[in-house]
Chain A
Amino acid sequence: MSKNSKAAAQPKRKTQGQLIWHQFKKNKGAVIGLIAFLAIVGLAIIALFIVDYDTQIAGMLIKDKLQKPSAAHIFGTDHLGRDVFLRVIYGAHYSLLIGFLGTGVSVLFGTLIGAIAGYFGGKLEWFIMRLVDVLMTIPTMLMATCVVAAFGISITNLILAIGISTAPHFARTARASVMTVRGNEYVEAAKAIGTSDFIIMFKHVMPNALSPIIVQATNRVATCIIAAASFSFLGLGVPSPLPEWGAMLSDAKPFMRTQPYLMIFPGLAIMITVLAINLIGDGLRDALDPKLKR
């Protein structure tokens, strides 16, 4: 049988995860994005351990105020003498937290109602989707402002505001994706062996409908970070003295002409993070799309 084994190539045992990683690796931009993103997360975690919140973030060191970038303070210091570098890396976890939790809320609500609409169809679908249409006519910014205005300024409210206002987008994506998967014969096969709708939905439909949702969610994290920064910049988001990047930009406004580095570094932080996440999103989109495989 040794001859036969030559011809009958052994099937390559690769899990879905390995296959996706294999495709993802080929996209250089995505890999760079991933490295940059991991570096940011790493710095944010380190910052939690090395930075003393009370003195270095919320405190005041007036004698050190408004120093230019130097060896001691590589990003310089702000008008209260706080080290900008430490504030930026400490602030990373606020931005990331808001970005991911905001998206999480949005994915959870949006996907759930979208998937129900897509799977069951009929009148229920019609009702849900019209509701979604109405929600989509309200601008995200306006909607979020209303939520914050109604419930007060806090990080939790900001996350909820961002999450709920973007949920309709996920509802649409989820519905479309679920409808495509529902048409597959394995869903019918599951029904034919007597599987209940609930199990079909969570075991057969959702896992196969997730790809576009994951891709959209990744890009949405970046959007949420920008939205959070915008809110904070407008004074509707993270309250001072928390070093959220948008809030830092807002604090630096008066010094824009004289100490531009106060704006440049938090601004760069936002830009790099958003770019990194978007690159990852692009890579994921290609890796998760079976049609692009050669």
Chain B
Amino acid sequence: MEENKDILKTDQPEYVLEIKDLSIRYDTDDAKVYAVNGIDLKLKKQTTLGLVGETGAGKTTTVLSLLKLVPDPPGVITGGEILVNGNDVMQLSKKELSAMRGKEIAMIFQDPMTSLNPVMTVGDQIAESIMIHENVGKEEAFKMAQKMLETVGISGERAVEYPHQFSGGMKQRVDIAIALACHPSILIADEPTTALDVTIQAQVLKLMKDLKDQFQTSMIMITHDLGIVARTCDEVAVMYAGRIVEEGTLEEIFKKTMHPYTEGLFNSLPNMKDRNSKLKPIKGLISDPTVDYQYCAFADRCPYATEKCWQEVPAKRYFSETHMVMCSAYDDPEFHIARGHENG
């Protein structure tokens, strides 16, 4: 594995990750599933981007493609470009890819129960990842693994234990230790706390935030929970039906919400300040991923939809350097959504 270490370009561009016009489709026997439909995304150094969306929005497919892990078949990347630290992922050889996985980009999965190998000690599992990418022997790797465990708040002595001896929250910590063992520049967390209880979730989120600063890592946090976004992210991208419909800084998304779907997500959540305010759900059903939407996929659920929304895919519109919204309603300069304007 020695030759793996230095084949990737090391010059540092402004963005650790750039996705340009990425489209991914799954061709199954029954139907074509349009998972990702032309998304652009940039991740700055040391920032955390929240990728928000509901089931089938294409969040997981997007991040799997960064590591070229989209199962093929049935997955087909139908277009676009992915640059990780300036390296075009599509052009990388198998060897280069495996050098990148774990070292440049590491992943934390939703279910810590299944992402760990039950017949290996947790220490060996962390050491394994270190040995692939760093030029160290077995013993040294194991020592580094113990140190990693301490970093995530588990006693180093427990490195010789097996995953089943750990609780759910502990396993997720081990997962984090494996992911961070090689100091990746990008950490992808796919719903890392969905399977955990609230109090444990709080512990794990805090740990991730602390470690992200300590290791100077950029992070993509996939979640459906806007509360987690508010706690951990600097920037937010809201996905719907394989498109990013709104993107901006945390402040922009939460305080200057512009897309009707983002508004709908906020309105669907109980208001903690006013118990008696009624929930305002988004009407209708989640988009059908087997439809190739050549118009706004949200149109049939949108309270502001006009004739135009059914005719074309909305253009990307920038309201600040960072705030992008994909909504045709803003063709009308007077248009604004209700959120933030309720009292006039």
Point out residues on A near B: beta carbons under 8 Å: 3-4, 6-9, 26, 294
Contacts of B2 in A (CB 8 A): none
CB distance from B245 to the nearest CB of A (A): 16
Contacts of A26 in B (CB 8 A): 29
Point out residues on B near A: beta carbons under 8 Å: 28-30, 74, 284-285, 287-288, 290-291, 293, 297, 299-300, 310
- Known contacts A3-B310, A294-B74, A8 near B300 by CB under 8 Å: yes
Contacting pair B29 A7 (CB below 8 A): no
| Distance in angstroms between the alpha carbons of A7 and B299 in the assembled complex | 9
Which of A8, A9, A294 makes the CB contact (< 8 A) with B29? A294
| Distance in angstroms between the alpha carbons of A3 and B307 in the assembled complex | 10
Contacting pair A9 B28 (CB below 8 A): no
CB distance from B210 to the nearest CB of A (A): 39
Contacting pair A3 B29 (CB below 8 A): no
- Known contacts A3-B300, A3-B310, A294-B29, A8 near B74 by CB under 8 Å: no
Contacting pair A9 B291 (CB below 8 A): yes
Contacting pair B291 A7 (CB below 8 A): yes
Contacts of B290 in A (CB 8 A): 9
17 A-B residue pairs with CB within 8 Å:
A3-B299, A4-B300, A6-B291, A7-B287, A7-B288, A7-B291, A7-B293, A7-B297, A7-B300, A8-B284, A8-B285, A8-B300, A9-B290, A9-B291, A294-B28, A294-B29, A294-B30
| Distance in angstroms between the alpha carbons of A9 and B300 in the assembled complex | 12
| Distance in angstroms between the alpha carbons of A8 and B284 in the assembled complex | 9
Sample of 10 more A-B contacts, CB < 8 Å, known A7-B288, A294-B29, A294-B30: A6-B291, A7-B287, A7-B291, A7-B297, A8-B284, A8-B288, A9-B288, A9-B290, A9-B291, A294-B74
CB distance from B278 to the nearest CB of A (A): 25
A4, A7, A9, A294 — which one has the most chain B CB atoms within 10 A of its CB?
A7
CB distance from B305 to the nearest CB of A (A): 9
Contacts of A9 in B (CB 8 A): 288, 290-291
Contacts of B285 in A (CB 8 A): 8
| Distance in angstroms between the alpha carbons of A7 and B301 in the assembled complex | 10
| Distance in angstroms between the alpha carbons of A9 and B310 in the assembled complex | 16
CB distance from B147 to the nearest CB of A (A): 40
| Distance in angstroms between the alpha carbons of A9 and B291 in the assembled complex | 8
Q: Name the residue on A nearest B241 (C-beta).
A: A7
| Distance in angstroms between the alpha carbons of A98 and B299 in the assembled complex | 63
| Distance in angstroms between the alpha carbons of A294 and B71 in the assembled complex | 12
CB distance from A160 to the nearest CB of B (A): 44
Q: Name the residue on B nearest A1 (C-beta).
A: B300
Contacts of A8 in B (CB 8 A): 284-285, 288, 300
CB distance from B299 to the nearest CB of A (A): 7
| Distance in angstroms between the alpha carbons of A152 and B148 in the assembled complex | 74
Contacts of B288 in A (CB 8 A): 7-9
CB distance from B72 to the nearest CB of A (A): 13
| Distance in angstroms between the alpha carbons of A3 and B296 in the assembled complex | 12
